Chain A
């Protein structure tokens, strides 16, 4: 595992070098996380001034709340759509970038820039361009006979719009990783599996995808975490969870329960559920990348 080089002997010096990192991690990561567990067993009243131990009541509340069930369903559905959508498009673009014969660096920068796109900016720009009354894109969509693009009142449409924004923003990240993975495929492996007369997209599906599956597994996990956690600004700026809860992702519900309704105990229980989801995803990633590693570590 850890190759010991041992350039220096004084282990007190090592402690000094590690101390700042460990101090920050303990104070701002571990301590609040443990507090979340503790708080999830309490009910808070009067802006957190009064707390009563209620055991697992908060979890029972969540388990029996139709509103929370809806948020769970919406979040998982959203993650599925965002992961599949973003990875499919990114895989195609990365593959073409890998194959292109010239102007590669220009194409590259033009394709990965959404990595720098702030989610709040992505949300604001598309809120305007897709605005039911003012959006120029909406105007052209509605030229199709019988189409009314009013996602302010139509739940599934709002969900779709939010997914488009989330996919758009995540393309840069996915393309960067997939392109690196494609470049790591040994030439000879692709060469031997090359089938004569096979189309380039078939090559991608039959030859490259299996070879880069560890990276795809990694990205499925990272994109799922992204869809669960980093999409808060999209909901906050575009839909506020509506219409009728159609976009009320877990992270947005948690924010409202904690900071609008001051149900700190309940919100902490929601945090614990999110912790469970992250943990499962991370473990799955470790297992996946171990099992499907097709080429050298």
Chain B
């Protein structure tokens, strides 16, 4: 690669290390520092409350099963995780489908005010939830959607970013393909499903990861619009855990177990799909 040539190093001269070793060393240190809080949380999630209150005790505690079971079933985290999962899947499927259709219309059709409509979609980037939070809350109440899955998914299933990314991708697909499809008399939905979707797999996977993580990590909006604990998502659910205490001592082991659980799902999704995510991000900056 670019700068590995050892003739151009001087840090190495100052530190007394070959350049490649310095690269590896700094990466290992950075990664350990970034991961340390998580590893400590994982460790503490195996400790009993008494062990936790013995602050310098960093040995695995043997209470993992109790903590995770209690978090999942006594404190209902299992239910919140299911709620979060259903919400995130609805948002991913809804956003991807709606945005594919919108991009199909924008790229492959000619209609009046096309640029204006595209701008109308893009301008919603200026309207994050906090800009419209009070009326949105009132709207949900008026619609009778408070405490429902509709309330925590509906506002998220259309997206300027997803439409933009799919549009960019469609524009890069050779127009000869379009000509062939046109001559063969292929209909638009068939064209989308049989030609565009297979050619956009990476992009769809990338948008799906971004959307899944984004939906899973929502906190403010569910906190406001869901007051029925049974319907709550896991991010707000872990704040319910903080009231968990025993003989006046907060059960931090249990809370750490809940935190690890709330992180595990998006983490698995990210690790599994990090390639398409990286490719999508790379395209976003062009």
Contact = CB atoms under 8 A, between A and B. Distances in A.
Given A20-B158, A120-B236, A125-B38, A96 B107 contact: no
Interface string A204-222: 0000000000110010000
A275 interface: yes
Contacts of B22: 200
B94 to A, nearest CB: 9
A271 B132 contact: yes
Contacts of B270: 112-113, 115-116
Contacts of A200: 3, 8-11, 19, 22
A118 B216 contact: yes
B26 interface: yes
User: Which of A25, A30, A33, A279 has most chain B Cβ within 10 Å?
Assistant: A25
A89 to B, nearest CB: 8
B11 A201 contact: yes
Given A1-B115, A96-B26, A118-B216, A274 B131 contact: yes
B115 A180 contact: no
Contacts of A11: 109-112
B178 interface: yes
Interface string A181-203: 10111010011001011111111
Given A5-B175, A32-B136, A271-B133, A136 B235 contact: no
A30 B238 contact: no
A31 B163 contact: no
Contacts of B277: 115, 176
B31 A17 contact: no
B264 to A, nearest CB: 9
Interface in A127-161: 128-129, 134-137, 139
A177 B131 contact: no
Contact of B1 (A7, A98, A272, A282): A98
A109 B272 CA distance: 10
Contacts of B252: 128, 134
A278 B238 CA distance: 30
Secondary structure call for the B interface = helix
B286 A111 contact: no
A180 B35 CA distance: 22
Contacts of A259: 137, 224
A177 B223 CA distance: 30
Given A111-B27, A117-B263, A232 B220 contact: yes
Contact of A267 (B126, B134, B281): B134
Closest 9 CB pairs of A and B: A35-B135, A24-B158, A32-B132, A14-B109, A199-B10, A32-B135, A11-B111, A17-B105, A116-B270
Interface of B: 1-4, 7-11, 14, 19-20, 22-24, 26-27, 30-31, 34-35, 37-38, 40-41, 44, 52-53, 55-56, 58, 98-99, 101-102, 104-112, 114-115, 117-118, 120-121, 124-139, 154-155, 157-158, 163, 171, 175, 178, 181-182, 188, 191, 213, 216-217, 219-220, 223-224, 235-236, 238-239, 242, 252, 255-256, 258-259, 262-263, 266-267, 269-271, 274, 277-278, 281-282, 285-286
Interface of A: 1-11, 13-15, 17-18, 20-25, 27-33, 35-36, 39, 48, 89, 92-93, 96-101, 107-121, 124-126, 128-129, 134-137, 139, 168, 171, 176-177, 179-181, 183-185, 187, 190-191, 194, 196-203, 214-215, 218, 225, 229, 232-233, 236-237, 251, 254-255, 258-259, 264, 267-268, 271-272, 274-275, 278-279, 282, 297
9 contacts: A36-B132, A101-B23, A117-B267, A120-B236, A129-B40, A136-B40, A139-B56, A194-B8, A236-B219
Given A115-B270, A121-B238, 14 more contacts: A15-B111, A21-B98, A29-B124, A32-B136, A36-B131, A39-B134, A101-B4, A113-B270, A184-B282, A200-B8, A200-B9, A202-B10, A254-B130, A255-B133
